[in-house]
């Protein structure tokens, strides 16, 4: 089982960014107030920070836990959370991509997915679309990546 908003693959102790966002959450609550779900989230945080299960596994609330609580307090629908979590990450993703392109040896390798679907498709209104699987392939060697970058940059 996985509890979303807790733990981080890089920060094995409390995420230093989470402390900053936690303070911002308190500032937001001062202005907007709290609702029952926010109270539950804050109680969950309190329990997790003191529970041996979480402490032994170094599972601390992360940035997404607090930003999700802030978004909820601001009235964003939960369906919008993935988009809201993605927007600030875009700058980092673009920076990683630029680093990769600027490195002549392409030593900076980050996971990627390659779209395997149709290269060109005409627009079809949503009401007329049929479901079909989208093919993604994440298996790419470093040599192939360098070759693809070299071909694209020529």
Is position 64 annotated as part of the catalytic site? yes
Beta bridge partners of 114: 137
Tell me the C-alpha to C-alpha distance, in Å, between residue 100 and each of 57, 88, 91, 110, 143: 34, 20, 14, 8, 14
Catalytic residue selected from 64, 103, 122, 137: 64
The C-alpha atoms of residue 48 and residue 59 are separated, in whole angstroms, by: 8
The C-alpha atoms of residue 69 and residue 37 are separated, in whole angstroms, by: 9
Is position 8 annotated as part of the catalytic site? yes
**Helix (H, G, I), strand (E, B), or coil: what is residue 136?**
strand
Catalytic residue selected from 8, 15, 27, 51: 8
pLDDT in tens, 3-40: 677 777 666 777 788 889 888 988 988 898 877 777 88
Section 72-99 average pLDDT: 88
Res 141: pLDDT? 53
Res 147: pLDDT? 57
pTM: 0.58
């Amino acid at each position: 089982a996985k509890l979303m908003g807790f733990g981080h693959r890089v920060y094995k102790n409390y995420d230093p960014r989470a402390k900053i966002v936690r303070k911002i959450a308190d500032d937001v609550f001062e202005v907007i107030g709290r609702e029952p779900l926010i109270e539950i989230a804050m109680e969950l945080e309190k329990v997790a920070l003191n529970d041996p299960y979480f402490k032994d596994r170094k599972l601390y609330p992360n940035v997404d836990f607090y930003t999700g609580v802030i978004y909820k307090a601001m009235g964003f629908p939960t369906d919008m959370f993935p988009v809201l979590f993605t927007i600030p990450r875009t700058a980092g993703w673009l920076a990683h991509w630029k680093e990769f392109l600027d490195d002549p040896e392409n030593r900076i390798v980050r996971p990627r997915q390659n779209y395997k679907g149709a290269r060109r498709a005409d627009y079809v209104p949503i009401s007329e679309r049929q479901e079909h699987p989208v093919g993604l392939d994440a298996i790419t060697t470093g040599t192939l990546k360098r070759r693809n970058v070299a071909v694209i940059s020529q």
